[in-house]
Chains A and B, each alone.
Chain A
Amino acid sequence: MSGAPLPWGRRFVMCPPRHFGVLYEINPWMRREVSVDPDRALAQWTGLVETLRSAGAEVETMEPHAAVPDLVFTANAGLVNASTDGSGPGQFVPSHFRHPERQPETPVNAAWFGARGWQIDRLPDDVDHEGAGDALPFTPDGGTTVLLSGYSFRSDASAATELSALVGCPVRPVQLVDPRLYHLDLTFCPLDGRRAIVAPSGWDTYGRKVVDALVPEPLVLTEDEALSFCANSVVVDRTVVMPAAPPRVGRQLEAWGFEVVECRVDEFLKAGGGCRCLTLALDTVLSRPRRQASPGSGPTSPTGAPRATPAQRARSTRPPAPRARP
């Protein structure tokens, strides 16, 4: 039994790697002494664009900036909540990066979305979250969309509360435990309404249970498979575009009726990014238009007094979160 195809993944924004390079080290894959071959990087990036287009996706591009080499990883730009009622493109929550090296990307991304009519909603200054790099939606067949959000290396657990209040869908934070799999999108790739590629070695025991409960039919990666970045894939309908397809993983995907396309992006793996990291879907829908809040819906205190929204409360009471740097 196959699930309903992913409702998103037909429109992406990408950023050509004209200024891409390993200029700093903020994850275990980055080594400044390793040089990037700019021509090869551009060729691989162009190859990915063509692969996605031939799978049926639209790809828009964003202008690169010399000061921010990682802008090429558009998955980390922010979180997209596309509109379904034609009232505009939708909502965009720009990332709040933990590492100062990447923080200048935020205004660039916000400007790009803002100029195209997206509503920009920001996280509080003291909460880190790295967008679609650390949060991917899963919509079980017949169920509600749930945003799975990774935390510890780049994003704060408390961001889940903020995001949930902003985008209006349940957000389930999952603790990431392997610094080599520092973003959720290295451990989780939704395939359809029943299936996802999952790398439990990247999560704590609670996180594994949360995903178990959410995904009916997971394709469970071994640690070695996960470290090949094969979960960092882009799904366009029934096509899975992968930076690497370990034989067992490829066979399972094909058995489930997916077309597997390997797309070399090893120049970007030098910076710890794969196919998914190079793309940001513009058509993810996280919540339907808000229902009008009716009396009795939503949390109330036992005394019946209205409660502050999580975001209000969190903002007013939180001391700065401690920063754990891998």
Chain B
Amino acid sequence: MVATETIEVTGHIVDSLLLAKILDAILDAGCDYEIEDVVIGKTNLDASSARIAVSGDEDVLGPLLDDLQVHGANRTAQVDATLVAADRDGVLPAGFYSTTNLASAVRVDGTWLPVDNPEMDCGLVVRDGRAVTVPMHRVRAGDLVVVGSEGVRVQAPGHARDTQVFEFMASEVSSEKPKALLVEQVAARLRASRERGGKALVVAGPAVVHTGGAPDLARLVADGWVDVLFAGNGFATHDIEANVLGTSLGVSVAEGVPTEGGHANHLRVINEVRRHGSIAAAVDAGFVTGGVMRACVLHGVPFVLGGSIRDDGPLPDVISDTVAAADAMRAHLDGVHVALMLASTLHAIATGNCLPAGVETFCVDINQAVVTKLADRGSHQALGIVTDVGPFVRQLADHLVGSA
């Protein structure tokens, strides 16, 4: 993990080449620097001074700064974070520190506490010797909340962790990449994550079903490549509709033509699942005989269906309180190494907001704007793949299923 510390050096640092020596030593150690402030003495009698931000891998930075201290460069004074108790439930103290999704640490009593669960747009609470991100609505009166930015250290996304991924990730959004190669690389990342014991999260939009990708996603679920699924009422409904009635939003999945009375197909499916009480009950009763949701039920893959204001029905499993839905999603994020956003705009962004920066995120959408939007909202680590999601999922399943 990359860390940054600030050092100061004062004296006749130019004539004595001390400044040059320090900067060389930083580069020689494989670290980087930014001169935040430099004051050069006007005559050779005047002292000069420089304040330098040094960044580099944590393991290298500590010993480097110890070495630099020998040359007279000292770490700038560090202060503890200011903690203020929340005075009521669901309200952060004024001036609260608003988090990023980057790995962070909070200095308390002279010790840097790593933040357990980096998530953007939250408050930072210190309790029982740990620092945790807490969404505004979950703050409780008396929680000690970090106020101001002093004593908070944010680490830039690492370069050292896995060069291959980050070279790959560096390719950003493109509709002009060879898709087969991208699919192969995503498959390789999923394999690598599984070998490390990481979880894979899939966020799926209804277009996965519309484009005929549901059976392939179901294959991936059945073969253990998906550890948790986030979606909305639409995806789950059309997945079940396609299985039960052979249509997705009334259009025949096999023939691509509208069916008579098909516009109400999804409502009939929702109605029947509501009669069963839950998707799992509908699966158990034999009402649902295929598809992604059934694969999740049969293989014990947890799913969170988040509701929205325009939902029909909704399905009984849909959490229509959006705040509760987001909390339910958060509960599944621990251990997620790879997130695959498949043709989903709103759920992908909602998920991106909760993910720590360290999670490798692949955003697959036919619309470049969705991919860009995710990146613009702060999920810089997302790699966009602009393509039709159906064929993408099929190729991915062909790579992975049975290959474990």
Contacts and interface: CB of A to CB of B under 8 A. Distances in A.
Contacts of B69: 321-322
A249 B48 CA distance: 38
A307 interface: yes
Given A158-B74, A317-B77, A299 B16 contact: no
A297 interface: yes
Nearest to A209: B17
Interface size class of B (residues with CB under 8 A): 20 to 34
A153 to B, nearest CB: 11
Contact of A165 (B37, B42, B47): B47
Contacts of B360: none
Contacts of A151: 70-72
A161 B71 CA distance: 11
A236 B149 CA distance: 60
B10 A300 contact: no
B18 A314 contact: no
A168 interface: yes
Contacts of A204: 21
A239 B39 CA distance: 43
Contact of A307 (B15, B39, B44): B39
A174 interface: yes
Contacts of A172: 12, 15-16
Interface string B241-283: 0000000000000000000000000000000000000000000
B171 interface: no
A67 interface: no
A324 interface: yes
B10 A157 contact: no
A161 B46 CA distance: 11
Interface in A119-163: 144, 146, 151-152, 156-158, 160-161
Contacts of A158: 11, 72, 74
A302 B35 CA distance: 14
A104 interface: no
Contact of B16 (A156, A173, A300, A301): A173
A174 B11 CA distance: 13
A310 B10 contact: yes
A158 B11 CA distance: 8
A321 B71 CA distance: 10
A96 to B, nearest CB: 15
Interface in A51-91: none
Contacts of B21: 175, 204, 206
A36 interface: no
Nearest to A310: B10
B61 to A, nearest CB: 15
A298 B46 contact: yes
A324 to B, nearest CB: 6
B11 A299 contact: no
Given A152-B70, A171-B11, A144 B47 contact: no
Given A158-B72, A164-B11, A319-B75, A210 B46 contact: no
Contacts of A307: 39, 49
A123 to B, nearest CB: 14
Interface residues of A, number: 42
Nearest to B11: A161
Contacts of A300: 39
A173 B42 CA distance: 19
B46 to A, nearest CB: 6
A160 B45 CA distance: 13
A168 to B, nearest CB: 7
A302 B15 CA distance: 21
A151 B11 CA distance: 14
A169 interface: yes
Contacts of A302: 37, 39
A248 interface: no
Contacts of B77: 316-317
A209 B16 CA distance: 9
B148 interface: no
A313 interface: yes
A164 B44 CA distance: 11
Contacts of A213: 15
Interface of B: 8, 10-12, 15-18, 20-21, 37, 39-49, 66, 69-72, 74-77
The list of the 9 closest CB pairs from A to B, nearest first, reads: A157-B72, A161-B11, A172-B16, A158-B72, A206-B17, A310-B10, A317-B77, A206-B21, A299-B39
8 contacts: A170-B44, A206-B17, A297-B46, A299-B41, A299-B47, A314-B10, A317-B77, A322-B70
Given A160-B12, A173-B16, A310-B11, 7 more contacts: A146-B15, A168-B45, A170-B44, A172-B16, A314-B74, A322-B69, A324-B70
